[in-house]
Amino acid sequence: MFKKICIIGVGLIGGSIARACKENKLAEQIIGTGRRPENLQKAVELGVIDGYENSVTAAVKGADLVVICSPVGSFKSIFTELKATWSDTCVYTDVGSTKESVVNALATVFDDIPGNFVAAHPIAGSENNGVEASTVDLFVDKRVIITPVVTTQKTAIKACGVWWQAMGAIVSEMTVQHHDEVFAATSHLPHVLAYSLVELLKNKQDEREIFEYAAGGFKDFTRIASSDPDMWSDICLANGPQLVKVMKELEQLNRKISSLIKDNDKQGLLEIFQSAQGARDYFLSLQKSK
């Protein structure tokens, strides 16, 4: 499908893209680049990529698809590096968990958003990090959100969509703003809550005993607190306004629940818990129907 794919950031997502492209014969050559040469060397040893370059400029030379898989906080500097060698015959895309920050970084560097850049977000991942955690089937039956803007070329959107589908993904489109609203609530907030709860309990005097006796529910709820802190701090800052908005809404609900508990109001608690249970069951039914 592509002669040369360049992956900027060969970690869990970038590595899984490379593996899936090899498995489905979507590229003749896959070259990586990133901040840590030792990680890129490991990716070569594992057979994830065919080779690597230490600079973005060298890595993208001759590529007809460039995929940015680094933390969203690094995008502006990457776009600055890419600008000097930007090719009209290449498709550029990303896998960032926020989209408005990506579009704003592009507009800052290029003055206008290039038509051959397709902003995208695969809804797939793991609490495990690094190229060692990458898998060939990470995107199978997972949703990928493409968020085109007015200037995005239809041919680039189609090429990007077909490429993701060839890796087994289900492709949808969404506006940039709507994407960030949805994922502030469904992805970014849950990560903040998981990190916050673990940090709260860690700081208690009886830390050892708390973790020793924590049950399966604690393990399940806090699983995502094992995710890459660097990546998630970048995501929180990149989607700050939307995330803070939904955090304030949660604060209001928690204050209401606190008042119900203080007032010994079981009926009030029951109504909230039953409503949440119904919403959770509906969510599970949607997952089963996919």
Say if CB 114 and CB 86 are below 8 A apart.
yes
Domains in the chain, start-ordered, CATH in brackets?
A: 2-174 (3.40.50.720), 179-289 (1.10.3660.10)
pLDDT at 202: 86
pLDDT at 238: 94
pLDDT at 207: 67
Cα separation, 120 vs 98, in Å, equals: 9
pTM, two decimals, is: 0.87
Cβ atoms within 10 Å of 1's Cβ, excluding its own: 15
What single letter denotes the amino acid at residue 268? G
pLDDT at 4: 98
What is the strand order of the sheet 51-52 is part of? 51-52, 27-33, 2-8, 65-68, 91-94, 117-118
pLDDT at 205: 62
pLDDT at 99: 96
Cα separation, 51 vs 208, in Å, equals: 45
Going residue by residue through the chain (290 aa), what tens digit of pLDDT does each one get?
899 999 999 999 999 999 999 999 999 999 999 989 999 999 999 999 999 999 999 999 999 999 999 999 999 999 999 999 999 999 999 999 999 999 999 999 999 899 999 999 999 877 788 999 999 999 999 999 999 999 999 999 999 999 999 999 999 999 999 999 999 999 999 999 999 999 998 888 666 678 887 888 888 889 999 988 988 999 999 999 999 999 999 999 999 999 999 999 999 999 999 999 999 999 888 877 76
pLDDT at 117: 98
Cα separation, 275 vs 271, in Å, equals: 6
Burial of residue 75 (CB within 10 Å: 0-12, 13-18, 19+) is: buried
